[in-house]
Structure 1
């Protein structure tokens, strides 16, 4: 229940969460501290690349045998990469690259010439159907609709305002202190106002105001990263669909409603829809492909790749202790 509550609002106060769950705020705080220390879950403050003038690319890299781990570790250390997965029997890497400008950057240009890289394909992200501040637990979590509504109510903290963006918006300008604020939140989305004031050099009042502005502008959102055992699902795969343009939106909206879909987006390329799938096991994945996916309109082809290991998530890379 705590993970679901934090997915609704990652910065909801422990007092507000405790009221909704019917427990004490000390119990909530103690439980969160224990889970975070154990690496079971953490709240991340993340940014929407499209609102910052960045271009996100889904990049698939086929490598020579035994080279994927080494190349993957190099990608992990880059600030412009997230969600670095090892897939396809250990010969494929899948990651998201946030590039400046519509034509990518030096990483996308250099990858094809990297030794032991066999093939590279890049698909520009065009539209997100499901993801960012919504996750699997949003669909299947234990909280009731009344509890979710109560959590969304402002409690004197920096509660999330409604974000409405009609049509394309210009890149949102950031100051140097904004970048320090966002870096701190990427490491710990529940960092205290005092800690954020120290990181930015702002007053606590300014920090609260700027948090509200960045959230309202759609620049900043909060997501919960949790261990697979929280959802009791052990099989993960990437699903690529080739969809007729006239059915693209309908397929994306349908995927967004499927309980197996953790993320879904429209992309460029011959496979123009990407989805991240999580099921209990390989058999469940097969039934999902031959059931809900097969029933989607306008599907011209599919491609799948099981994810064997995730070596970087949406948060910043944290080196392991020696």
Structure 2
């Protein structure tokens, strides 16, 4: 669903972006709205797919892929990448990148995936991999900016983090993996339903859920199509900069509300950023007028045509 949302619906989504598991009562209190009204709109947003809340299993290694495909095969390639469990997003693009995707992997799997599995993608002509060295912002940390500072602070919890520190260690138990699978299907699954699915007590389910969130082994992400919040234009910026300017450039991008995702990478560019804006004029101004761009040597822009997967969740075909 990409239709325009009401102001209240956008406020509810903004609250869920901070705490995807927040109760309707808490959101209503923060927004100073009747709980019944917030619950009705919130449930409707989830039911129609205008917004979804999904858990994501975090891994220790992340790689961006930029694929060039033979004519007529880019949709097939994007679909193949979207169907992989280790893919966080898969986008059809303009320009020199027919498909852009992100893979979240355990380090020992990287070599086989990049040298054997990805090259076997149907229609692939050329792929370039960009190992992520450091995140400045992830989709988990993106905010629409509609909440004020007081509301934003009130929605925060001890588990709130911007998603830039994804360091994890060691395998999970079978029980914890099952809890993660439940959250991947429904990030708002209640402790009661988790306990029932995993066949443990509610006390155990609550304790393990707390541990997984506290230790950042799973992230809860609220997913919404940018067009629904009046940001229909989405682009990737492939930025080249001198080594001494990368950190300053990345930090500057992280302060901009237009930036959904920004990461320092290894490869022929130094930073990759995903931005969402109202129109092409806004993108032009963002690239040419913004002070952050003074530290960039070269900025290549590619436009998103269609998102097949976001935040680890497949997007239904329109």
Q: TM-score, normalised by structure 1?
A: 0.87
Query: Number of matched residues?
Result: 306
- Residue 173 of structure 1 aligns to a residue whose secondary structure is coil
Other-structure match for 2:141: 134
* Residues 1:34 and 2:41 aligned together: no
Instruction: Provide the C-alpha distance between the structure 2 equivalents of 1:242 and 1:207, rounded to a whole number of angstroms.
Output: 46
* Residues 252/145 of structure 1: CA separation in 2 closer, same or farther (3 Å cut): same
String of CA shifts for 1:233-255, please: whole Å, max 9, x gaps.
Answer: 11111111112111111111100
On the 8 A contact 2:73/2:122 being kept in 1, the answer is no
Q: Cα distance 1:302–1:164, how it changes in 2: closer, same or farther (>3 A)?
A: closer
Q: Once the 2 structures are TM-superposed, how far is the Cα of residue 201 of structure 1 from its aligned partner? A: 1.8
| Corresponding residue of 2:12 | 2
1:144 maps onto 2:142 in alignment: no
**What is the distance in 1 between the residues matched to 2:46 and 2:12?**
12
Q: How many angstroms apart in 1 are the aligned matches of 2:18 and 2:154?
A: 10
Question: 5+ residue gaps in structure 2?
Answer: 1-10
CA drift at 1:320: 6.6
Measure how far apart 1:184 and its partner are.
Answer: 1.3
Secondary structure, counterpart of 1:12 in structure 2: coil
Paired position in structure 2 for 1:125: 132
Could you tell me which residue of structure 1 aligns to residue 83 of structure 2?
Answer: 77
CA-based RMSD: 2.6
Inter-partner Cα distance in structure 2 for 1:285 and 1:48: 31
- CA gap of 1:240–1:319, structure 2 versus 1, over 3 A, is closer
Query: How far 1:134 sits from its partner (Å)?
Result: 1.3
Query: Which aligned pairs between 1:143-182 and structure 2 lie closer than 5 A?
Result: 143-152=147-156, 159-161=157-159, 171-182=169-180
Residues 290 and 90 from structure 1, CA distance in 2 versus in 1: closer, same or farther, beyond 3 angstroms? closer
Check 1:65–1:249 CA distance in 2 against 1; reply closer, same or farther (3 A cut).
same
User: Of the candidates 293, 298, 302, which is equivalent to residue 299 of structure 2?
Assistant: 302
Cα distance in 1 for residues equivalent to 2:205 and 2:305: 40
Residues in 2 aligned to 1:292 and 1:318: alpha-carbon distance in whole angstroms: 32
- Secondary structure of the structure 2 residue equivalent to 1:82: strand
2:93 is the alignment partner of 1:96:
no
Report what 1:311 is aligned to.
308
- Cα shift readout 1:5-53 (whole Å, capped 9, x = no counterpart): 1111111121111111122322222111111111111112223322xxx
* 8 A Cα contact 1:252 1:266, kept in partner: yes
Deviation of residue 133 (structure 1)? Answer: 2.6
Determine the C-alpha separation between the residues in 2 that align with 1:178 and 1:205.
14
Shift of the alpha carbon at 1:112?
Answer: 3.4
Partner in structure 2 of residue 156 of structure 1: none
Pair 1:62-2:73 in alignment: no
Relative distance call for 1:241 and 1:71 in structure 2 (3 A) is same
- Greater shift, 233-242 or 222-231, is seen at 222-231
CA distance in 1, matches of 2:122, 2:56: 33
2:131, 2:24 → 1: CA distance?
39
CA–CA distance in structure 1, aligned partners of residues 139 and 158 of structure 2: 14
Structure 1 pair 122–160 and aligned structure 2 pair: CA distance change class (3 A): same
Q: What stretches of structure 1 of length at least 5 have no aligned partner?
A: 153-158
- Superposition pairs of residues 107-256 of structure 1, within 5 angstroms: 107-110=113-116, 111-112=118-119, 114=121, 116-137=123-144, 140-141=145-146, 143-152=147-156, 159-161=157-159, 171-256=169-254
* CA displacement 1:92-134 (0-9 Å, x = unmatched): 1110112332671433213335553221100001111112431
Superposed displacement of residue 90, structure 1: 9.4
Corresponding residue SS for 2:216: coil
